[in-house]
Amino acid sequence: MNNTVNPGNQNTESQQADQPLVGVIMGSSSDWDVMKNATDMLEQFGVSYKAQVISAHRMPQDMAEYGAAAYDRGLRAIIAGAGGAAHLPGMMAALTEVPVFGVPVPSRYLRGEDSLLSIVQMPKGIPVATFAIGEAGAANAALHVIAMLAMNNPALREQLRAFREKQTNAARAMTLPPAPQN
Ligand code: RP5
């Protein structure tokens, strides 16, 4: 899960294969099916990332170490997915100045509404940018990170523009079934 492709970012440090720009973390391997939508998008844009399981409640020490080292390791964004009482994104945001983008993972009993509220309702002072529950949220978190990185990277901005244009053209080409005859 360590992607080493780089988008030609101006930050030369982060062009090194062992220094991905984006950390993608999640509370459990059971989150992977959803979080893969974020890494797929980063891969599509050639943005380097490393994905791994860091559980806030099962690996609190690892989480603290990850946060403390994040900036110096070259991370410039962290996408954090979690489900249920989803404290990983907020805790990670408290441990580093690297911006955290939270993805609420659908939970078994409350369908991710618990995850959403746990992530979005951060008290004032430590923000977590929070996205939609599930696959769309994971993909959009990556797109948002890409947009942020693109502000200092014209080639990446051009890729983002082309991505949106393709999406617009696809929507324009959509057709609906013919209306039923009376
Ligand atoms: C959270 O607990 C994880 O983010 C996951 O969404 C949820 C359930 O984890 P598992 O019991 O499936 O490992 O920490």
The residue segments making up the domain with residue 66 are: 22-160
Distance 143 CA to ligand 1 centre (A): 24
- Which residues are within 8 A (CB) of 47 and not within 5 positions of it... i.e. 6 or more apart? 3, 5, 6, 7, 21, 22, 142, 145, 146, 149, 156
pLDDT reading at 16 higher than 80 = no
Residue 11 lies in a domain: no
pLDDT over threshold 60, residue 113: yes
Task: Supply the CATH number for residue 33's domain.
Answer: 3.40.50.1970
From the CA of 34, how far away is ligand 1's center (Å)?
Answer: 12
pLDDT at residue 81, as a whole number? 98
Reported as a single tens digit per residue, the pLDDT across 129-165 is: 999 999 999 999 999 999 999 999 999 999 999 999 9
CA of 108, closest atom in ligand 1: 8
Looking at the predicted structure, is the pLDDT value of residue 123 above 80?
Answer: yes
Classify residue 136: in a domain, yes or no: yes
The answer to whether residue 168 is domain-embedded is: no
Give the pLDDT band (50/70/90) at residue 18.
confident
Residue at 92: amino acid letter? M
Residue numbers in the known binding site are: 28, 31, 58
For the chain, how many structural domains are there in total?
1
